[in-house]
Amino acid sequence: MDEAEPVITSGALGTDPGIRHAFFTRQGGVSEGLFASLNCGFGSGDEPQQVAANREIAMARLGETADRLVTVRQIHSARVVVVERPWCREESPTADGLVTAIPGIALGVLAADCAPILFYDPVARVIGAAHGGWRGALGGVVDATIARMAELGAERPHIRAAIGPCIARRSYEVGPEFPQPFVTEDPGNIRFFAPAPGPGRFLFDLGGYIAHRLARAGITTVEVAPHDTVAEEERFFSYRRARLRGEPCYGLGLSAIVIKE
């Protein structure tokens, strides 16, 4: 992963001149206070005009305008939509993944500890973006995104994937009931849990689990960002950090990918 500020890029995706992509940090925007500074989430509680300005800043770095950015109302699901045209905010469907083969449409996902996942098939020139919270990851958002890409002509051996900055295992403490659905789905998933200091508690490796789901789905080129959104406060927004501090609001970071026209 490229460490250039204020964006992070993936070598798994960035070697091809046919796309632009970025995992944006929280730096370089206009928002203030708890939302400082590149908050791109309209539902965060930030001033809408500040969020709109931040989206313009982000898209300018990808060589696009904000009206070419497409996001969805994320619900921690495995629902994925095919994007054929940009839509306005009010038209955003509920989903957690997007795919397209149309140049000039930027697919975006928002996160503050969940894992943003960007996909690209350089042969079919099909892209995807997914929001990987634990529910969506367990429910199959990775597999659903790949399946929708295949509908547009993508093939699994050609698809590359990059998992952006998310909460790291050392910061993701969960209760004793949390591992069971994962172990029920696949007993081998127990390896993504490590003992936590508290009795009966665990530390969950979200990025590692999503990488496993990608590999299991037949994706051989996968890169995982070596970051912890909870610990790296200067660079990333974090839902968990905000809740531990009792803060009422938190910003949302944007990750986006676009096929160049």
Locate the domains of the chain by residue range.
Answer: 7-168+205-259
pLDDT digits (tens, 9 = 90+) for 175-199: 999 999 999 999 999 999 999 988 9
Measured between alpha carbons, how far is 134 from 96 in angstroms, rounded to an integer?
A: 12
pLDDT digits (tens, 9 = 90+) for 202-212: 999 999 999 99
Question: Tens digits of per-residue pLDDT, 67-123?
Answer: 999 999 999 999 999 999 999 999 999 999 999 999 999 999 999 999 999 999 999
Q: Say what the pTM is.
A: 0.97
Please give the order of strands across the beta sheet that includes 69-70.
Answer: 7-8, 19-24, 253-259, 106-111, 69-70
Domain 7-168+205-259 has CATH 3.90.25.10: no
